[in-house]
Structure 1
Amino acid sequence: MVSAWLPALAALTATVAALLVLWPLRRSDRRAPFIAMVLAVGVAGACLYLLVGQPQAPSAAVAAAPTDLGQGVQALEQALQRDPQRADGWALLGRARTELGQHQPAADAFARAVALAPDDPGVLVEAAQARAQADAGKQFDDTALQWLRHARQLAPDAERASWLLGIALRQRGQDAEAAGIWEALLPRLDPGAASALREQIAIARGKAGLPAATAAAAAVAGTALGVQVRLDPAFAARASLPADASVFVIARVPGGPPMPVAVEKHPLGALPLQLSLDDADSPMPTQPLSAHAEVEVFARLSVSGNASRQDGDLDSAPVRVRLPHAGTVQLVLGAPDRP
């Protein structure tokens, strides 16, 4: 029996090498050949180990090493015939079949992976998606829905599981439940993705006959905090700021832990910036902005792109406000300290 982790290590090593060698294809936007070639090398690495990684393997197997994705799939299938209890092998086969556009064989391979690893949330999500892709109407059936629910139970913060579960529920006309799942996902998304998801939530709520703003949503809207961020003109004139610097707008509990209760990230070039902080910007669903009566708001100019303060970062003077706050909080980066 081949050790379970050695083939995976071989595939990982081959894939990393492929990423380094083939990266120019990705940078020139030739994504399809880039993905296919990287996956082919990864499959080949795993298969080559499974074929010749044992001391008794004949040297002829080296000559038969796969040279493209199709041959890699065949080699992997042969290896799985000898060692069929490999969930990672079946999942790898499912990904390869998906890349080749062979949706039903991919779904079958992922089903074998789920049978061997029923509590792996990543495999469950991939299997559910493959099952829907294999369906003529691209529908998530009962089995796929069950896999997605189980994956979300195992990993409540898994964004892909929540997103696909919402789609599956909407396909069944369960729009209210879909909207609820997507609303719980919002705080974990960046502003752009959150904005797109809000549109889908609005559609789902409308289909479910729910009002545009429930009592809870009205409470959130009442605590939404308008913020304006700009650079001090004198500071901007003399400072040499990297074009790829980021600006974080942060609300946190005064005198409390440094973890923000709401945060947004924007490029430096977006300044001057007008925005609204709300519960969708809360990194912790259990501590949304609307749960606090008072917050401290400030902006951070980050050269590293990290929200945590680093050497060379610049913070604006913090402004303490009580919620709800009707006005706009003015934050100025680089303003001189006032006595």
Structure 2
Amino acid sequence: MVSLPFLLLAGVLVVATSFALAWPLRAQRGLFAGIVVAVPVFALSLYSLVGTPAGLEPAQRETPRTLAEAIARLEADLERDPRQAEGWRLLGRAYREEERAEDARDAFARAAKLAPEDVGAQLEYAESRAQADPRSHFDEEAIAILEGVLRDDPDQERARLFLGIARRQAGRDAEAAEIWEPLLPGLGPEAAAGLREQIDLARQAGGLPPLDRSGADAPAAAATEGVRVHVALDPEFAARVRLDPRASVFVIARIPGGPPMPVAAQKRSVAELPLRLTLGDGDSPMPTQKLSELSEVEILARISSSGSATPQEGDIASKAVRVALPSSDIVELTLGADH
């Protein structure tokens, strides 16, 4: 039987965590948009958890009012039965959402130890070690995990991405470029252009010529899938308001007049503004609802100083723009125009 606290916490976290790309280095996030596949919906991964009798108590059936309350219930459940790898992963993600990097690392470590054959658990642990590092660097243990995953599965994209970053951090630039290059064929035009730029920088630092670009960008613009979006701050607003560069910027697509759950979303930071991105099926938090299956969406952006994916008082939002799909136009969103 599935333990109810796990389900409750999953319900609280699913919207928030689906916005975040699995990403160890904030400074690199804008350049590698679209590379990391959206985090799977937590509720669908909980089928393997073992329930406890305490989960049947009336108090446990009440929906937690805050993330902190949900985390406390999950911590208590894991204290009763610490052998649940998926529970530790869920707790690690919750800690990460609260920016408790060291606690998240320790929770992911428990999950990785309990599930040594689970590639997802190993990658989350390696990533969490970089997030908990003061310099956001992958240490020797994290690198060993990434190397092991790639030895077993050379097509594992997240491991390849992270290992390339680790090589670059260590000054092994030519190796970083070599590790990243196999990722290019599987990327969309915008993400490929960003990665190609980083590969060229790494090759230059490693004493190598840039990549051969002949024909690389030919049909890119016409073949772009998804919705292209440009997000910028209103100039007058930017001149009189000082924003925290670390504040989160959420760019979402939703069904006009439909439920608040987005059909596609990306999380960036104020420091990246102005920014360009493409929302596509890979950004969907719900695998059963794809952007490409819709005829019309509403696109908007929102600045959240708290980092929460749930709209809160004080957030700065753009006007929503309705877009008929498929669309080759760039959606222009302006933040702060009404403030």
Among 146, 161, 164, the alignment partner of 2:159 is 161
* Structure 2 counterpart SS, 1:104: helix
Deviation at 1:174, TM superposition (A): 1.4
Deviation at 1:60, TM superposition (A): 4.6
Deviation at 1:125, TM superposition (A): 1.6
Q: List alignment gaps of at least 5 residues for structure 1.
A: 27-38, 230-245, 248-264, 271-303, 307-339
Q: What do residues 3-60 of structure 1 show as CA deviations (whole Å, max 9, x unaligned)?
A: 5xx34997399639975xx9xx99xxxxxxxxxxxx9x969x99x9945576xx5445
Among 99, 104, 116, the alignment partner of 1:101 is 99
Q: What do residues 261-302 of structure 1 show as CA deviations (whole Å, max 9, x unaligned)?
A: xxxx236999xxxxxxxxxxxxxxxxxxxxxxxxxxxxxxxx
Deviation at 1:179, TM superposition (A): 0.5
Contact 1:91 1:123 survives alignment (8 Å): yes
Q: List alignment gaps of at least 5 residues for structure 2.
A: 21-39, 229-290, 294-339
* Structure 1 counterpart SS, 2:138: coil
Contact 1:121 1:154 survives alignment (8 Å): no
Relative distance call for 1:201 and 1:86 in structure 2 (3 A) is: same
Deviation at 1:305, TM superposition (A): 6.0
Contact 1:52 1:61 survives alignment (8 Å): no
Relative distance call for 1:8 and 1:144 in structure 2 (3 A) is: farther
Give the 5 Å matches for 1:26-37: none
Q: Which amino acid aligns with 1:74?
A: A
Which has the bigger relative contact order, CA under 8 A and spacing at least 6?
Answer: 2
Among 7, 10, 13, the alignment partner of 1:11 is 7
- 2:84 maps to what in 1? 86
Q: What RMSD, in angstroms, separates the aligned Cα atoms of the two structures?
A: 4.3
* Structure 2 counterpart SS, 1:84: coil
Higher helix fraction (1 or 2): 1
Relative distance call for 1:146 and 1:209 in structure 2 (3 A) is: same
Mapped pair 1:115 → 2:73: no
Instruction: Determine the C-alpha separation between the residues in 1 that align with 2:14 and 2:109.
Output: 28
Instruction: Determine the C-alpha separation between the residues in 1 that align with 2:146 and 2:198.
Output: 19
Q: TM-score, normalised by structure 1?
A: 0.51
Instruction: Determine the C-alpha separation between the residues in 1 that align with 2:14 and 2:219.
Output: 45
Deviation at 1:126, TM superposition (A): 1.5
- 2:138 maps to what in 1? 140
Contact 2:95 2:104 survives alignment (8 Å): yes
- The share of aligned pairs that are identical, in percent, is 40
Deviation at 1:212, TM superposition (A): 2.6
* Bigger Cα Rg: 1
- 1:128 maps to what in 2? 126
Among 221, 224, 236, the alignment partner of 1:266 is 224
Contact 1:169 1:178 survives alignment (8 Å): yes
Instruction: Determine the C-alpha separation between the residues in 1 that align with 2:148 and 2:98.
Output: 28
Among 71, 74, 98, the alignment partner of 1:73 is 71
Q: Which amino acid aligns with 2:76?
A: Q
Q: Which amino acid aligns with 1:71?
A: E
* Structure 1 counterpart SS, 2:176: helix
Deviation at 1:82, TM superposition (A): 1.4
Deviation at 1:153, TM superposition (A): 3.3
Contact 1:122 1:151 survives alignment (8 Å): no
Instruction: Determine the C-alpha separation between the residues in 1 that align with 2:203 and 2:52.
Output: 53
Give the 5 Å matches for 1:284-323: none
- 1:289 maps to what in 2? none
Deviation at 1:131, TM superposition (A): 0.9
Among 194, 198, 201, the alignment partner of 1:200 is 198
Instruction: Determine the C-alpha separation between the residues in 2 that align with 1:116 and 1:58.
Output: 28
Q: Which amino acid aligns with 1:119?
A: E
Contact 2:5 2:77 survives alignment (8 Å): no
Give the 5 Å matches for 1:197-236: 197-213=195-211, 217=212, 221=214, 224=215
Q: What do residues 81-103 of structure 1 show as CA deviations (whole Å, max 9, x unaligned)?
A: 11111110110010000000100
Instruction: Determine the C-alpha separation between the residues in 2 that align with 1:136 and 1:17.
Output: 26
* Structure 1 counterpart SS, 2:224: strand
Contact 2:5 2:74 survives alignment (8 Å): no
Contact 1:51 1:61 survives alignment (8 Å): no
Relative distance call for 1:8 and 1:158 in structure 2 (3 A) is: farther
Deviation at 1:204, TM superposition (A): 0.6
Q: Tell me the matched-pair count.
A: 207
Relative distance call for 1:79 and 1:16 in structure 2 (3 A) is: closer
